[in-house]
Structure 1
Amino acid sequence: MFDGHKKRVVCMWFPRLASDRVLRARPIDAPFVLTFNQKSTDRIYCLNRQAEALGLHRGMSFADARAFCPTLVSQPARPDLDARFLSTLRRWATRYCPWVGREGVDGLVLDVTGSTHLWGDEAAMLDDMRLRAQRAAITLRLGLGDTRGAAWALAHYGGTTGALAPLPVAALRLDTATITALQRLGLRSIGDLATRPRAPLARRFGPDLLTRLDQALGHLQETINPDPDPPHYGVRLTFPDPIGLLPDVMAATARLLATLCDKLKAQEAGARKLMLTLRRVDQGSQQVELRLASAMRDPARILPLFERGLGSVDVGFGIDVMRLQAVVVEPLPVQQIGTVSPRQPDQLNDLISRLGTRIGLENIQRFLPADSHIPERSFSIAPAAFSDPDSNWISHRPRPLRLFAPEPIGAKGAQPPARFRWRRMALTTGRAIGPERIAPEWWLEDDNWRSGLRDYWKIDTREGRRLWLFHTPQNPGWFVQGEFI
């Protein structure tokens, strides 16, 4: 019979969490390791079973590992993706109980008190956990105990269930220095530690040692704090009678937007991508996707952007359900309102969003400064919706607004020509400012700069043209590369 007062805790330990994450997506039948850089040395972060069988271990130098196993396959470690994978496993574990928390970076802890009878008994529940993990190609070790500390100890150093006394003192979740000091004193197991007087242990090792011991033995309570579920940015609207007219659909979209934007405001977030799903009475559905140039949560600004997409929707015999979801969300913190209104880019972002619904956000681009003194490399082109124009253009010399490929002109000498022809025009030099010598970036391959140095001049012609000319001393010649407007 189930004892409602007896607490039962399960610890899920994934000893190969990082490598299992990678190998599930791309299986490799060979020794495999993930590496990380520590003090300018690549070391093993995680490894699969085949690599462990060869004697490799975590923290081992990657160079030494390659010497042991020349066929070793490796990839850089990604702790951020591992944390995301553990979050996915945490959501999966809620099928066994609602109280699931993290246990370090590679484990979970479940308070299964009152839940085990749903699976028949504790053994059946643990078997189900093992089976599902095996099907998902995830290495899993389990521990079941009356306390969180006991479950952790059994998962890492013992079987699924059993006594704690024979387990090593490392099973108490102690730091390495404390474990080493206890072993030197001959206290190698939890049983050895539990039978010793507490006062000398507290004086020598501090209160943490006895706290961990009491937590494992159940003398001190240890709570399990489950991670909060991430906010869900989706709203739904059901109609008693189907709708089909565009004004009615727009009005329903406005109601959905108001509710969704309230959720976004409560979380200080803004939507970058919205998905509106319209389900018809014949069970068919259509979707309208809206991508925004910046994070927004203002219904009045977002609603007009839906009109074009909704105008092309085939409503059939009517729409009875509408669902709006913010697919991509970005932080949008509340800003302090001052007495002087700062310049806001809202109008530009709204224009980019409106144009993006017609031609695509990727096709609206802007120039961004690049760290190079070579004229052709001093800028980059990026989609305006996915780049921030907060960098200033820094140039010690003026640069022309129009820049094109160098065009040769028939001129000789190292000084700017008094007269020259360019694009079938006869031009006369009125004023010449320069030279500005620019050397090629030798570390980059660029066929246009193989001629070597360039001496640039700003030429104001009497005919009104303001050109940017350069002379190549190594292979004498004059070229026009830009025009000032």
Structure 2
Amino acid sequence: MRRVISVFLPNWPVDRLRRTAGAMAPPLEAPLILTARQGNRRIVTAVDETASALGLRVGMPVSQAEALVSGLTIMPADPAADAAALERLALWILQRFSPIVAVDPPDGIVIDSTGADHLHGGEAAMLDALIGRLALSGITARAAIADSWGAAHALARYRADPVLIGPAGKTAELLSPLPLEALRLQATTAAALRDLGLVSIGDIASAPRAPLTRRFGPEVCRRLDQAFGAIAEPITLYRPAEMIETRRSFAEPIAAAETIARYIGKLVEALCVRLEEQGVGARRLDLLCRRVDDNVEPVRIGLARPVRDAKRLTRLLRDKIESIDPGFGIEVMSLIATVTEPLPARQTASALVETPEPDLSGLIDTLVNRVGARAVYRFAPVASDVPERSVCRVPALSEDTGAGWPDHWPRPSRLLPRPEPIETMALLPDHAPVWISWRGVRRRVVRADGPERVFGEWWKRDAELVAVRDYFRIEDETGERYWIFHAGDGEDPATGSQRWFLHGVFG
């Protein structure tokens, strides 16, 4: 089932202006409005949160706004700059979240997330990541996901706080209480419908269609059907002119896997020629298969390093053919290099050149595109004495950070996601336990080494100002070795809970 995300940017002109101005932007506590001329009047076109809280609204005359609020910061609106920045935002989302993205002017982005949400951990994780990244960039945003563009558009603007996930198949229930403006109707049409006593989408949905069409034309019923998914509303894909793309149209739609695989090879060869001409390699490829019913089946692959090897790219894309539903046939196939990086030509074989190091990027690409980027990683050390903070996950082929692993005390090969409490008997403050009970199994300790004292990092949390842990390496009667610690120094309650925990297992 198709799933669509609508991103609503309620303060986009103001947020864009503040990001552009940087340090020269007006302070956040100062009310700010943007203005434009409408005929002989200057009206407010955008307000920030501070100005909105003081009662200023879009469409208000500037003279009235100045009379209501003293010390008001007034700046001219720039719709062209807003539109250009919105396109740049759409490109950013295209490169990071989904291959099907379009601008929804003047203050929105629409995303077809069908088949893309699993790459981000599900719909909820995808929305949280998107809204979170925008918030960190100083952009106020709300987003909703639903079965159609119209439904997602309405929910993002009238129900999302800041995100809303509409259950599949529940569009009518979600939209019924929303006002008429949520259907993207003209203001005059919505006002006329309200005069007839129709105040919500549910009222229109239950009303006879023939009188509505005779009086208001086909627009009302068309918007209603689009929101409910009864009529398809294609998303016009955003593609910058500089993005490298190859395309193949078919006189007769294709559907067989063998045929799709053959044309994938042809598209990749043509794309690699263009990549070589520009001296770049692909880091992300999007294959878009437009079906005869105007639906698009997307396939996205990522690469650990820039690549323009036609054989490797073809193999990776062909591995994804089983995820393509051709329906009644595919009439257009497009292959786009969504993300590229410089890749100069180099000599690969010569008797005078040293043997190159083994290249693992092909294996990494195959694994990542089969099981997801989250499942393929390596560990890297972090400068921290607290064990759970001393390691992090990084991409499999990321550059070495230069940090080294601690070597003054042995560390377990397997560190638990979080320390697990255990039952013990020990002579405090500096003796190892005689036995431990972990996950319902009691183990007698035959050997132990320690304690190794680890202090808390007071600069991160006040609670760690005096916190300590005493770690021991222990071995039970079966030869299994564990890494355990005592929270606290065994004397002062302020240093820890005085409980025992198991934190790791030695291989």
TM-score by length of 2: 0.47
Larger Rg belongs to: 1
TM-score by length of 1: 0.48
